Amino acid sequence: IERPTRTLATMLAKAGGIAIEPAVAIVRVTRGGQTGKVWLEDLYANPGLDIALRGGDQIVVERDTRAFTALGATGTQNLIPFESQTLSAIEAIAQVGGLNTSLADPTGVFVFRNEPAEIANAVLGRNDLTGDQRFVYVLDLTAPTGMFEARDFLVRDGDTVYVTEAPFVQWQKTITAITG
């Protein structure tokens, strides 16, 4: 560590920058057995996060490993990595190619999630739940506030986004099977 490279940001620059997209880059610094992390974009946006380095510090820049699963009548059925720090339900749907217009039911967008007990107790107005609880959040994109709710609802690591088929799809499949 020399005078011009005393801070985290300057050391990253001196090392040649980073090779991954800044939106999904996480910088981890390990010092004395303790590890802290910061998003690269936040490091550059907030100078207060640009810490002074010490001898022995280890710096690792890695791609964000968070992902959600997309299933049902979407553009894809896959494990989808996050492309930004936060991801709304509407952005998650867009990231997988949107709703399949010939198959999807916009009234049936579900987000399956395991919520910690403290959140589950708060949502349900209880205080007796322990451990993770399974929750299903339903988004109706045809409701007057549906798009706003989907825009404000954040998808988390490990969530499953499932879009149901429109009611007429099963009827079309049956007719197609009969008539060929």
CB neighbour list of residue 123: distance below 8 Å, 6 or more residues apart: 115, 135
Task: Output the pLDDT for position 169.
Answer: 64
User: In this predicted model, what pLDDT tens digit does every residue of 33-49 receive, in sequence order?
Assistant: 999 999 999 999 999 99
Q: Are strands 25-31 and 78-81 parallel, antiparallel or unpaired?
A: unpaired
Please check the confidence at residue 104 and state whether its pLDDT lies above 90: no
